[in-house]
Chains A and B, each alone.
Chain A
């Protein structure tokens, strides 16, 4: 059966309007059937799981970069980041759509990481008595542990600044923007949060590990999707390292500046 026939397109022309719903149902069913077969291969095979890992990795990478750019507004007038946070909090369904997509992405990323790791362990039940590495980078050999600690950090971070259960008093911080709107005072919350040395240290260490994760991740995702070759491998390595360092520097600057008293 051809694809057009599978999705019911051939019959569509002869449908009377009364049967339209039926036709739509056929299309939806066939399409989901098509998706199911494709995804079955994509999710069950070794390469498919790597695509899931890479695609979820790209989405997370884009998110963390966007998130960093948003956070760097801490260096501007307090109203800037407060207005920005107010804007995000009032996206309504849009905010929830983004949150759900991110949650699904994190679940997909961790699911594929766990699946692949279990299979990889199983693939070599007896390990070498003497182990050696020829050229695999440190970052590439520590993806599981760096990812795992980053996960713990993400949970803490959500409890700290999103749910504000670590310091419930953050929920009562309010300020007034120039136009008179009363908004949650995110600026003061960040300053208060990072004045705690231990919390700042934890953030910096976790961001460091995420940067190490990305140092392998950025080059790796292109290979997993089949877009890397030796011609671009050299520049790609430099981009991976450069971007990871920039990402680390940008993030570490925030707690460091607050502890040093540059931002208050």
Chain B
């Protein structure tokens, strides 16, 4: 198949970028989107041009490294799929594809389609962990967890931190990410003791990083490659409210 690509080219963080047109001819419909970009890049290199920089690692939809917005939709038109798992058969011969980076103030562009998602790391550093002494893992059966609770926690834990929720949100809000990371731990008995401190500091880190605010449109859940539910945002809203009040009644 033959495609017309309009790709965002930006030299570095401080330069301004622009869309550049490329013809992608003879693309195999069985290729993944990133393999298609590989082919385009090889041709660019052959003709002495700079290849298009994009993030990728596992290419099997589990690491969260890949990130690109295709025709205005992060990770492209196919639901519940990362761009590395998106196949060219979902497009038509002759399509024009506009490929841009994830756009948010908190995700500055490093080069072309690559963005800096360190802001997510800072949010996790603020509370996405459990403070326990490390050592050998305890016997699993000493801490029974109801099945539905375990499943809920697993649903939240399936977040791969790709940032598509931020990219899709009309306000570049990171609520789905923060909600998934906090709910995952808050739902489990190991995470419960630090629940309040966790939501307060993770939300503070989120605000600090310059993300926007949720307007309850759920573009995030719709675009999420792991289909994480906006219910976790509701849970975060509830837990943050309770934590804000409770904080005033506790020492320190």
Contact = CB atoms under 8 A, between A and B. Distances in A.
A125 B108 CA distance: 10
A38 interface: yes
A116 interface: yes
Contacts of B156: none
A203 interface: no
A260 interface: no
B103 A223 contact: no
A141 B206 CA distance: 23
Contacts of B237: 47, 50-51, 223-226
Interface string B212-242: 1111111100110000011101111111110
B83 interface: no
A225 B171 CA distance: 19
Given A38-B244, A41-B244, A123-B173, A130 B238 contact: no
Nearest to B212: A123
Contacts of B73: 132, 134
Interface residues of B, number: 53
A143 to B, nearest CB: 7
- Say which size band chain A's interface belongs to: 35 or more
Nearest to A51: B241
B51 interface: no
B211 A123 contact: yes
B213 A120 contact: yes
A134 B168 contact: yes
If over half of B's interface residues share one DSSP class (helix, strand or loop), that class is named, otherwise mixed; here it is mixed
Given A122-B105, A227-B234, A130 B216 contact: no
Contacts of B231: 228-230
A46 to B, nearest CB: 5
B103 A126 contact: yes
A119 interface: yes
Contacts of B69: 128
A195 to B, nearest CB: 40
A120 B171 contact: yes
A229 B105 contact: no
Given A129-B8, A220-B216, 7 more contacts: A38-B245, A50-B213, A120-B170, A124-B212, A128-B69, A129-B6, A223-B216
Interface of A: 1-3, 34, 37-38, 41-42, 45-51, 116, 119-120, 122-137, 140-141, 143, 216, 219-220, 223-230
15 contacts: A38-B245, A46-B212, A47-B236, A51-B237, A122-B210, A123-B212, A125-B105, A128-B69, A129-B19, A130-B98, A134-B168, A140-B215, A141-B170, A225-B237, A229-B234
